Amino acid sequence: MDEKDEPMLAEYDFSHGMRGKYAARYREATNIVRLDDDVAALFSNSQEVNEALRALGKIIRQHSEGADEKARQG
């Protein structure tokens, strides 16, 4: 491969770089939740985790709506 065709330079100068310049923006754009090992062992993949959390969310909403209804009825 010809040197001019090489996609990377042999060396880069980072002496004027700013450490962590985009770290906050990256952190805001990511949506990663770390599962404890014992919880992760219950699921084969992220789809199973999402399905379980959706089901739990539905139960929580139903329970919350039922409690609100009882409070209104007195």
Is residue 10 one of the residues assigned to a domain?
A: no
58 token code pair: 């539905």
Counted domains in the chain: 1
Of 1-10, 15-24, 45-54, 58-67, which has the strongest mean pLDDT?
Answer: 45-54
> The whole model's pTM is what?
0.53
Is residue 12 one of the residues assigned to a domain?
A: no
Is residue 23 one of the residues assigned to a domain?
A: no
Is residue 26 one of the residues assigned to a domain?
A: no
pLDDT value at 41 more than 70? yes
Q: How far apart are CA 18 and CA 68, in angstroms?
A: 51
What pLDDT, in 10s, does the model give residues 3-26? Answer: 667 889 989 999 999 999 999 998
Is residue 5 one of the residues assigned to a domain?
A: no
Which domain covers residue 57, as residue numbers? 35-74
Is residue 55 one of the residues assigned to a domain?
A: yes
